Structure 1
């Protein structure tokens, strides 16, 4: 091996070591990031749905039918048939990308009520451990919160840490649609937490919809298993690879249901998911902020027709993470670097890793313009 090869190998090793050290130092060690098992496959209740012969023909398979095929199937049903299917199979219809929006709201309401009933029964079951009963009580309370009047739940899956999608604004009549894809530490219990509001998809969605006005609907989408902490899961693409097909299918379902192509906003690790899904996303714009990388070297590598935007403010700690992808660690090039080719988003008034959607920031104003098509 020549001297040049030794030097190049040494530089790669140093970069990988720097990446690992940065992540470990920022999280008090790998132990703070517990390895997660991604939720994959079709929604709960799929076996019963597949066995349903009430219409005299097979129902579209949630695992294999495209959102366009799902949309065509429901378009061919009468009103009574639609509602009967939603009542019999709420967990499937509520999560079936391509199904009518209002029908998904209805089905998820049914699924939430049923899950709350099950959770309350578990909480009262003396044969369960105190921890199991406490977990059941928390789930019952969460379901009750999501059933509050005015909440529009477009997806709900209680398995694992739980997944949910909530709509802010009138999605059925919206002229402009956006989807928020979150990063680490977000699940059914935390997607709308009270602390660090603009670090949650619900807080981001609520802020964007309020700023953009009644013609815009924003979906806070928690449809993949996010990393916990900033340990190994956050440093690798494993969870993003599992989440990318789910995001692509969800967005395809919106457009198949007749909605306009959305702007997709991707925060932190969520931008890794978006980068891997980009080629399959029918989106008008792809906006990444606080991003560790998209597992791509440039906009061209994303193979998307969407306009690509990138934002990172100077106080965001993500800027200290080395932009490499080596030995399975890291997520590649910095999307805010001019060589990447993304359009810049102003961030002078944003603060920290979760301040991009805060009212009064230039980044939020830019996001509104992107959402409404006012940005060129």
Structure 2
């Protein structure tokens, strides 16, 4: 497989799992005279009902005491999560500012701290809507494009390898980033649609062992399912979920628990399923791959834990084929002017029936 696909060895990653940072303090907080919903076990519906029962003052008090939990707790009202993550970002920025001049640290530590300060300042720019933020490990983040609270249609973009807090909105290879995909889709779909760029799982680095197995996808799938459940629990419509590359492996494993209207995979190495029926989803399933995408060189097998199974664009898989003749390479599906972006826009706006099904 490595010889056929030209893969390079990437470093093995430790997946980030468990509840948000600050959960211990949250669990010990009895200021409201009642037990708070456990971030690890409470369903998004339970969280939504809990916050619905609080007064605005109680919500804000919780948010100020526990911004990292409130900002990452699926089911919390959207506006409150934005504000909580702004507080959490400012707190992390202050921590890194102190590290940047700490005499007990190395010059390399100072340089890294200054880079993190710049990163957090970028995320704090006016107008950005940060729906999730976790600085642990390589960092995770979710950003909203559009008005999520009033949108008639919602989409979620799930990325593949080499994406984290630092790279999710990089300017290089912009249409290969979740932020670039989300921004372009929102611009094409219009203001009635909100698009979320979700980097809520630990992605593979490089195209080595992590990308060839489902280990990181298995850790990320419950996080994706919970995130989307949180969107619908907060009042959003069932979204269209766009899954790029290794992200489609995550989506395939999450599919049975994913309250999605549409599941769209692009540049997929497989979904760890033999067919649409094996995904056990009520969502419409779509697949796109252009002829120049190197992912076609990856054998569609699953053997001894390696590989991700059937090609979703194979007619035998049963997905609706999205036209992608205009897309170029592995990261060109959301490029302006492409037939794939036009089809994605129709799906995102609830007009999937007008998509011309490809060969």
Cα deviation 1:249-277 (Å, max 9, x = unaligned): 00000000011000000000000000000
1:48-197 to 2 correspondences below 5 Å: 48-197=25-174
Aligned residues: 353
Query: Where is the helix percentage greater, Structure 1 or Structure 2?
Result: 1
Partner of 2:7: 26
Report the 3-state secondary structure (helix = DSSP H, G, I; strand = E; otherwise coil) of the residue aligned with 2:166. Answer: coil
- Is the aligned partner of 1:293 residue 2:261? no
3-state SS of the aligned residue for 2:51? helix
Secondary structure at 1:52 match in 2: coil
What does the per-residue CA deviation read over 1:311-357, in whole Å, with 9 as the maximum and x for residues that have no partner? 00000000000000011110000000000000010001110000000
CA distance in 2, matches of 1:97, 1:364: 29
Of the structure 1 ranges 312-321 and 137-146, higher mean CA displacement relative to structure 2 is found in 137-146
Aligned residue number for residue 179 of structure 2: 202
Structure 2 distance, partners of 1:144, 1:226, is 24
Shift of 1:21: 2.2
Tell me how far 1:104 sits from its aligned partner. Answer: 0.1
Could you tell me which residue of structure 2 aligns to residue 256 of structure 1? 233
- Aligned 8 A contact 2:324 2:340 in 1: yes
Aligned to 1:12: none
In the alignment, what sits opposite 2:356?
Answer: none
In the alignment, the residues of structure 1 paired with residue 7 and residue 40 of structure 2 have an alpha-carbon distance, to the nearest angstrom, of 39
Matched, 1:38 2:20: no
Between the aligned partners of 2:246 and 2:110, the Cα distance in structure 1 is: 32
* Structure 2 Cα separation of the partners of residues 86 and 311 of structure 1: 41
User: Does 2:199 align with 1:218?
Assistant: no
Match of 2:252 in 1: 275
Distance in 2 of aligned mates of 1:212 and 1:206: 10
2:82, 2:131 within 8 Å by CA — same for their partners in 1?
A: yes
Root-mean-square deviation (Å): 0.6
SS at match of 1:26: coil
Aligned to 2:335: 358
**TM-superposed deviation, 1:365:** 0.4
- DSSP-derived class of the 1:155 partner: strand
TM-score by length of 2: 0.98
Q: What secondary structure is seen at the aligned counterpart in 1 of 2:133?
A: strand
Give the Cα separation in 2 of the matches to 1:375 and 1:97. 28
State how far apart, in whole Å, the 1-side matches of 2:294 and 2:46 are. Answer: 43
Q: How many angstroms apart in 2 are the aligned matches of 1:90 and 1:375?
A: 38
Question: How many Å separate the matches in 2 of 1:135 and 1:242?
Answer: 28
- What is the CA–CA distance in structure 2 between the aligned matches of 1:354 and 1:177, rounded to whole Å? 22
Deviation at 1:140, TM superposition (A): 1.0
Q: Spell out structure 1 runs of 4+ moving beyond 3 A.
A: none
After TM superposition, the score normalised by the length of structure 1 is 0.93
Select the structure of larger CA radius of gyration. Answer: 1
How far 1:287 sits from its partner (Å)?
A: 0.1
Shift of 1:192: 0.2
Counterpart of 2:261?
284
Task: Give distance in 2, aligned partners of 1:39 and 1:101.
Answer: 23
2:7–2:208 contact (8 Å) kept in structure 1 = no
2:207 equivalent in structure 1: 230
Deviation at 1:103, TM superposition (A): 0.2
Partner SS, residue 72 of structure 2: coil
